[in-house]
């Protein structure tokens, strides 16, 4: 069966703020909390952030609630022992996300591979995230024109691990699961969601979620790549299947 559609994740696949998250995010949170009278060391913030990631990845599994304004920072504050009102947290979160958006970078070879694949396949973005945030990133890098469809988890109320956003994309594009390939960096979201539907999955081996899996399931992608240009060869091989 010939491949007719290629679905892409956004964060750490098409674009990334990984450098900012690794090198500047904790320092920014430190300054933001200092601005409302709380002073924590970077080590204390690192521990709280780790706990918040683990908590939200399991507590909100399948739900886009984690992407709501202030939600992650609210959880992080609780692990720091703080009781900060939500209005204040939301203001701090807005400042954090504004700076993060300014530090996104396009991953290598994105437009080269998208230009090539667009000639042969229906392309879709399927992203966990907020509508405003994802659309902003798509537009600042001028990516919208490459895609036939964009599905964002906040719009449908479910994350990719549930398969719901991916299934919606298949239906809207008139594709069967075996006619489409999902590419993303997260085993517990991109790969799991695709595998549940019987799709071929490709893990882009990069970024924050490189060695993390919060699904509680043993999942293996069909392919692992370090460079998006490797997709040409993979898809070419799939198209020769009987």
pLDDT in tens, 74-99: 999 999 999 999 999 999 999 999 99
Would you say residue 241 has pLDDT above 60?
Answer: no
**Distances in whole angstroms, Cα of residue 190 to Cα of each of 28, 48, 119, 123, 221:** 29, 26, 24, 15, 9
Would you say residue 183 has pLDDT above 80?
Answer: yes
- Considering Cα of 25, then 27, then 30, then 32, what sign does the dihedral take? negative
pLDDT at 219: 85
Would you say residue 199 has pLDDT above 60?
Answer: yes
Query: Domain 5-16+106-238 falls in which CATH fold?
Result: Rossmann fold (3.40.50)
Would you say residue 200 has pLDDT above 70?
Answer: yes
pTM exceeds 0.75 for this model: yes
Q: Would you say 112 and 229 are in contact if contact means Cβ atoms under 8 Å apart? A: yes
- 163 Ramachandran zone, left/alpha/beta (phi>0; psi -120 to 50): left
Question: What number of residues does the chain have?
Answer: 242
Taking the CB of residue 137, how many other CB atoms lie within 10 A of it?
A: 21
pLDDT at 190: 95
Would you say residue 1 has pLDDT above 90?
Answer: no
The first and second tokens of residue 29, run together, are: 């949170």
Average pLDDT of the segment spanning 127-151: 95
């Amino acid at each position: 069966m010939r491949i007719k559609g290629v679905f892409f994740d956004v964060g750490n696949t098409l674009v990334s703020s990984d450098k900012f998250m690794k090198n500047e995010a904790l320092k920014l949170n430190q300054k933001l909390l200092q601005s409302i009278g709380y002073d924590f060391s970077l080590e204390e913030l690192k521990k709280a952030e780790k706990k918040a990631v683990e908590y939200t990845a399991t507590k909100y599994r399948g739900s886009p609630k984690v992407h709501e304004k202030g939600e992650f920072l609210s959880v992080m504050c609780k692990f720091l022992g703080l009781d900060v009102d939500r209005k204040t947290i939301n203001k701090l979160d807005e400042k954090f996300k504004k700076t993060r958006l300014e530090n996104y970078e396009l991953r290598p070879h994105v437009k080269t591979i998208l230009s090539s694949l667009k000639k042969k396949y229906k392309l879709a973005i399927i992203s966990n995230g907020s509508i405003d945030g994802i659309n902003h990133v798509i537009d600042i890098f001028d990516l919208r024109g490459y895609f036939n469809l964009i599905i964002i988890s906040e719009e449908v109320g479910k994350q990719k691990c549930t398969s719901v956003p991916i299934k919606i994309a298949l239906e809207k594009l008139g594709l069967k699961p075996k006619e489409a390939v999902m590419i993303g960096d997260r085993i517990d979201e991109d790969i799991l969601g695709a595998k549940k539907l019987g799709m071929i999955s490709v893990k882009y081996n990069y970024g924050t979620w490189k060695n993390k899996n919060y699904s509680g399931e043993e999942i293996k992608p069909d392919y692992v790549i370090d460079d998006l240009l490797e997709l040409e060869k993979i898809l070419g091989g799939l198209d020769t299947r009987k």
